[in-house]
Amino acid sequence: MVAAATLTIDLGALRGNYRAVRAAAAPASAGAVLKADSYGLGAERIAPALYDEGCRDFFFAHLAEALIIRPILAPDARLFVMNGLQPGTERVCAEAGLIPMLNSLEQVANWSALGVAAPEPLPAVLQFDSGMSRLGMEPAEARRLASEPALLAGVKPLYAMSHLACADDPADPENGQQLAAMGEVRTLFPALPLCLANSGGVFLGPDFHGALVRPGIALYGGIPNPPAEKVISPVVRLDVPVIQTRTVPPGTRIGYGGDFVAPAEMRLAAIEAGYADGLPRHLGGTGAAFFEGVRLPMVGRVSMDSVVIDISGLPPGTLRLGSRVELIGPHQTLDQFAAAADTIAYEILTRLGRRYQRIYKD
């Protein structure tokens, strides 16, 4: 309660976004990506809310993330580790009942060796590189895996998986090229259902849906591509209090380095959030706060714990110590806030610090 700024997370909107994605992807199943602590919003609160909404497939980047959430979800929930496993962690993963995505023949061999010694083969997802050149087995590895069944002796493959690189732009030809690449993979593994679509991929159409989609940013209120804008609702609101107000004469230098010089008399307010709270330094000179619909530009550099805003557009005395201004909310969406910092909604969410008072409403 002593935290100054408040980050409000609307679990009802989160649930609504999941329902919207699930409807768009039907008849495919819809999972949920909870990596990076549910994009910074708190996986221990997000996971049960989505489970109650019917989600049963949850995706994490790291093994450690999945291990934290496994005890708070019912046994019928499936937890996937998208980065696969580091050598020596296979037994921990198996004993926790987690499902790795195997990105290389080395990972396949390590997981299969454990599965051969187990009572039955261990479930896994086979990840293939379809053109992003990041994670996944290359075409030659896929062909070898298909031609040598013994490599999968201890593995029970559940899906053939890949990741779309350009789903934020429905017109990008890379989307179709990656879909075609996965079509070739599936000729090698015809019994394996497809898991391809991320948030953006869900809104590229049914060709991309496969059997299971794994939305992330769309659940948290980010707009992955234009078609999603009609059905995705905001989930977060960020309100920050004023620390101090002042009036400065023309020629006053403001902030570190004196980067901004007041062109005329200005009324200013320092607000209690900075780059330690996840506000990118790029916001200095481009970002803004809002108060009752009035845009209040940020002036000077973003500091570690504060940033200065121009409140000259408000009547004198409107803002004072403790008044709150909106950084993300009805007057400035998450994506607009990110664009002002020349970044993306994903980065903004995952950078939001732990100093905010977090309010979950449902």
Q: Active-site residues: which are they? A: 35, 256
Which residues does residue 100 pair with via DSSP β-bridges, in sequence order?
81
Backbone angles phi, psi at 76, to 5 degrees: -80, -5
Strands 6-10 and 236-248: antiparallel
Please name the residue ranges forming H helices in the chain: 11-25, 35-39, 43-52, 63-69, 90-95, 105-117, 139-147, 173-188, 199-202, 334-340, 345-351
DSSP 310: E
Q: How far apart are the first and last CA of the chain?
A: 19
Residue for token pair 């709270």: 277
Residues 6+ apart with CB under 8 A from 62: 35, 81, 83
Round to whole Å and give the CA distance between 242 and 330. 19
DSSP H or E segment with residue 297: strand 294-299
Which residues does residue 293 pair with via DSSP β-bridges, in sequence order?
none
How would you label 7-46 residue by residue, b for 16+ Cβ within 10 Å and e otherwise?
bbbbbebbbbbbebbbebbeebbbbbbbbbbbbbbebebb
Which residues does residue 68 pair with via DSSP β-bridges, in sequence order?
none
Round to whole Å and give the CA distance between 223 and 275. 24
Give the chain's largest Cα–Cα span: 78
Which residues does residue 288 pair with via DSSP β-bridges, in sequence order?
297
The one-letter amino acid code at 220 reads Y
Round to whole Å and give the CA distance between 222 and 234. 7
- Other Cβ atoms closer than 10 A to 64: 11
Residue for token pair 């969406």: 333
